[in-house]
């Protein structure tokens, strides 16, 4: 039986990011995807024009319907939207205790618009992050969570340790925003530090890479892989998702977890 993975995230109609991207990624990695929608957005892969968080009790009841009936092996969260939702998710995790929880602390859209309301950041730090198997911030998210500048990998290491000192078990810093060290991710736990190098693909902005990465890691953990192995395979998936992305107009593209090279053309008999 495929392991069941639950994602809690916002809906993205372009399906490049958000809950649609999570579902595709979970299935691409061999899991059975279940979901609880936290918000409805209007976006097209380049611009977010509207975001409506759902009531916390509605998010809770969606997730509880899955967790109370199905043997969920891993939970992944992305955009949560409000402090009330953050608290409900924390209560659900404490009650149902899934073996793995991957928290992608989505704070802003690529356009810069906030996706977490005022006052919720502290709740995220205190209530949710310590419950995670792994937290996967990008550089702007790491800066917001630690209230410090992170210009390079050395600073990222110190910021990650700040989160560990606050009770987070493991942090994977995604280095895509680092100018001099692009494509390098850093895993920090109390017992180890690992650097994951990867190919940097210059093809413009790709929407949804963080969602795919965290969903892939959660699924590989649910499949029984160790943390480092799950990250390594998740990074390989994201590189493919970027390389073979879905065009979205101009320089933008949508991460495609099923991305693959175009089939070779074969000439037919004349």
pLDDT digits (tens, 9 = 90+) for 117-127: 878 999 999 99
Give the integer Cα–Cα distance in Å for 111 and 198. Answer: 25
Handedness of CA 232, 96, 116, 212 (dihedral sign): positive
Give the integer Cα–Cα distance in Å for 63 and 66. Answer: 5
Place of tokens 């004349």: 270
Residue 265 pLDDT grade (very low, low, confident, very high; cuts 50, 70, 90): very low
Q: Is residue 269 pLDDT above 50, yes or no?
A: no
Architecture of domain 4-254: 3-Layer(aba) Sandwich (3.40)
Q: Catalytic positions, please?
A: 174, 206, 208-211
Q: Is residue 267 pLDDT above 50, yes or no?
A: no
pLDDT at 44 (0 to 100):
81
Q: Running DSSP on this structure, what letter comes out for residue 135?
A: E
């Amino acid at each position: 039986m495929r392991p069941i993975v639950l994602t809690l995230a916002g809906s993205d109609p372009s399906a490049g990011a958000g809950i649609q991207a999570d579902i595709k990624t979970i299935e691409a990695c061999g899991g059975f995807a279940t979901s609880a929608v936290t918000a409805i957005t209007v976006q097209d892969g380049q611009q977010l024009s509207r975001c409506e968080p759902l009531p916390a009790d509605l998010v809770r009841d969606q997730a509880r319907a899955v967790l109370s009936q199905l043997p969920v092996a891993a939970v992944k969260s992305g955009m949560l939207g409000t402090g009330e939702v953050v608290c409900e998710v924390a209560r659900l995790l404490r009650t149902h205790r899934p073996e793995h929880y991957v928290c992608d602390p989505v704070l802003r859209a690529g356009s810069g618009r906030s996706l977490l309301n005022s006052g919720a950041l502290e709740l995220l730090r205190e209530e949710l992050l310590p419950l995670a198997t792994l937290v996967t911030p990008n550089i702007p998210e790491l800066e917001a969570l630690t209230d410090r500048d992170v210009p390079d990998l050395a600073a990222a290491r110190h910021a990650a340790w700040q989160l560990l000192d606050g009770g987070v078990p493991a942090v994977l810093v995604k280095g895509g925003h680092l100018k001099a060290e692009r494509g390098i991710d850093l895993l920090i736990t109390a017992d180890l530090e690992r650097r994951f190098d990867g190919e940097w693909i210059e093809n413009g902005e790709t929407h949804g890479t963080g969602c795919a990465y965290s969903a892939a890691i959660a699924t590989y953990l649910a499949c029984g892989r160790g943390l480092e192995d799950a990250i390594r395979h998740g990074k390989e998936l994201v590189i493919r998702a970027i390389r073979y992305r879905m065009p979205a107009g101009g320089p933008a593209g949508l991460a495609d977890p099923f991305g693959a090279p175009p089939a070779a053309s074969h000439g037919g008999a004349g």
